[in-house]
Amino acid sequence: MEFYSAIVTFFQQGGFFIYPIALVFALGLAITVERWRFLKREKERNLKAFDDFLPLLRTDDHEKMTLFTRDNTAPVSRMIGCGLDMMQVTRMRADVEQAMSEGMMESVPRLEQRTGYLAVLANVATLLGLLGTIIGLIAAFTAVASADPAEKSRLLSESISVAMNTTAFGLIAAIPLLIFHAVLSNKTNAIIGSIEMAGVKFLNVMTLNRAIEAGMPKSKG
């Protein structure tokens, strides 16, 4: 109960800018939760899609592989599907790899979407806190200018204490948002890396299959 009362008092004494900072923080939390759930779902989808695709890849059945990539909407499936489509035109590894890179570029923006806003919101929260403190100090000095000399020191210290609440709350909001941004960015990069690794495995297997079809012996070691 005392903790709740302290929070209420903090907001009441913080002035107007406490509320926009709280709104920024709430928006950042909403983005964090949405992105975390989305990235977790995409990671699971990609892992399952590639695990389901591996048996088809080992059979080297292009028709079944193409049908699978068209039915599956996971980013890794779309990327491999672009490579399979290009392989109907040319078997050059560089061309297939370029087509897969284009397919990858279609998926990356969805994975990175909105995560960058967290860093922006963290900066906005910090700046709002500083702005609130500056405006509070201006109002404090203006108020004590006409106050009784004996009361000036007390009024000024109280006003400065209240004005500093906005800076404190701005930092309280900004620090977690920066941490959330770093965590989500790392999670996004890990998913992108896993998709790229799946693409490399696909290319390597397909290259090996072409070598076998051409009658070239497998390299030892």
Structure tokens at 17: 């800018």
Cα atoms found within 13 Å of the Cα of residue 207, Cβ hemisphere only: 13
- Pick the most confident of 8-22, 32-46, 140-154: 32-46
Q: So what's the pLDDT on residue 120?
A: 96
pLDDT in tens, 21-60: 999 999 999 999 999 999 999 999 999 998 888 888 877 7
Higher pLDDT, residue 56 or 8? 56
Percentage above 90 pLDDT, the chain: 31
Q: So what's the pLDDT on residue 174?
A: 95
Rounded to whole angstroms, how far apart are CA atoms 159 and 164? 9
pLDDT of residue 99 exceeding 70, the answer is: yes
Rounded to whole angstroms, how far apart are CA atoms 115 and 177? 10
**How high is the mean pLDDT of the chain?**
83
pLDDT of residue 220 exceeding 50, the answer is: no
* pLDDT interval class at 13 (50, 70, 90): low
In terms of phi and psi (left: phi > 0; alpha: psi -120 to 50; beta: otherwise), the region of 60 is left
pLDDT in tens, 171-204: 999 999 999 999 999 999 999 999 989 888 888 8
| Predicted model pTM | 0.80
DSSP structural state of residue 94: H
Q: So what's the pLDDT on residue 105?
A: 86
Name residue, tokens 């035109």.
Answer: 89
* pLDDT interval class at 221 (50, 70, 90): very low
Q: So what's the pLDDT on residue 165?
A: 83
Q: Of 9, 4, 15, 23, nearest to 166 (Cα)?
A: 15
Tell me the C-alpha to C-alpha distance, in Å, between residue 125 and each of 32, 188, 202, 214.
16, 24, 45, 63
pLDDT of residue 11 exceeding 90, the answer is: no
- The answer to whether the beta carbons of residues 144 and 155 sit under 8 Å apart is yes
Name residue, tokens 């693409």.
Answer: 199
The stretch 198-211 carries a mean pLDDT of 80
Rounded to whole angstroms, how far apart are CA atoms 83 and 78? 9
